[in-house]
Amino acid sequence: MRIFTVDLRSAAQPPGPAGAVQTQTVDPDWADAADSVQRISLPSALPWACVDHQPDAVVLTVEAAGTYDTVVAQALRTDGIHTPVMVLAQHTDPHSTAKALEAGTDDVLEAPVSVVEMRARLRALSRRPATWEPDEFTHGAVTVDLLGHRALVDGQDLDLTPVQFRLLAVLLRNAGRTLTRDQLRESVWDPAEEWGSNVVEQAVSGLRTKLAEHRVRDCLKTVRGVGYRMASPHPSPAE
């Protein structure tokens, strides 16, 4: 099986530079010799890694269930990514387990756990029918190619920062739906890092500027007091 792990414990090694997708091959004691297990150092990179590599399962390690694991799981599900997610927690109780499951995780285990049980649960998750994940989203003249990490307007490349690219992808994936600032923050930015209160507004402003450079205006709507919505883009007449 191909498995991604993310260590969300406070004592975990800090992530690398912002925007970097760092992976490391690891060999946890619950892994089988035939498994390919990779640790994703930056939680915000997990959705893109899942789209690119389609793992059989994701294992989130936390100190207590129902904490950061819920943020990461909600970000995956908001992005339309249905990769099975297992939580391996040092502490669980019925309330925290229910919270993790309701956030979109598929299984919760309390560590330490026997290798036999861990392997059986991972195999059960991997046997679930695969859900097709599109690798390209098109809305009007705007296209996001997730596998190629390209954004285009009428076939012309948009020069976007990594944050702007992730923001556009989330908005296109949910075109016509209003997303709150909290939903965007959880989907685009690393939940383990501190960010300014206006980080979403700044990113939206920058993305609007880049779209306007390609004569795409008035498609990224502000829903006052709620968040933002991607409406049908209409290129402006050439000046």
**In the chain, what are the domains?**
2-126 (3.40.50.2300), 136-235 (1.10.10.10)
Q: What are the helix (H) ranges across the chain?
A: 46-53, 68-78, 94-102, 115-126, 162-173, 181-188, 199-213
Span 93-107, pLDDT tens digits: 999 999 999 999 999
Residue 170: count other Cβ atoms within 10 Å of its Cβ: 24
Provide the Cα torsion 29, 191, 72, 79; round to 10°. Answer: -140
More confident residue, 155 or 13: 155
Identify the burial level of 199 via C-beta atoms within 10 angstroms of its C-beta, where 0-12 means exposed, 13-18 middle and 19 or more buried: middle
Q: What phi-psi label fits residue 96: left (phi over 0), alpha (psi between -120 and 50 degrees) or beta? A: alpha
Average pLDDT over residues 129-148: 78
Query: Is 50 a residue whose pLDDT tops 90?
Result: no
Pairwise CA distance, residues 19 & 58, whole Å: 21
**Helix, strand or coil, per DSSP, at residue 9:** coil
Candidate from 18-22, 124-128, 225-229 with smallest mean pLDDT = 18-22
Predicted confidence at residue 17, as pLDDT, reads: 43
Predicted confidence at residue 18, as pLDDT, reads: 41
Predicted confidence at residue 21, as pLDDT, reads: 47
Which percentage of the chain shows pLDDT scores above 70? 87
Pairwise CA distance, residues 215 & 234, whole Å: 8
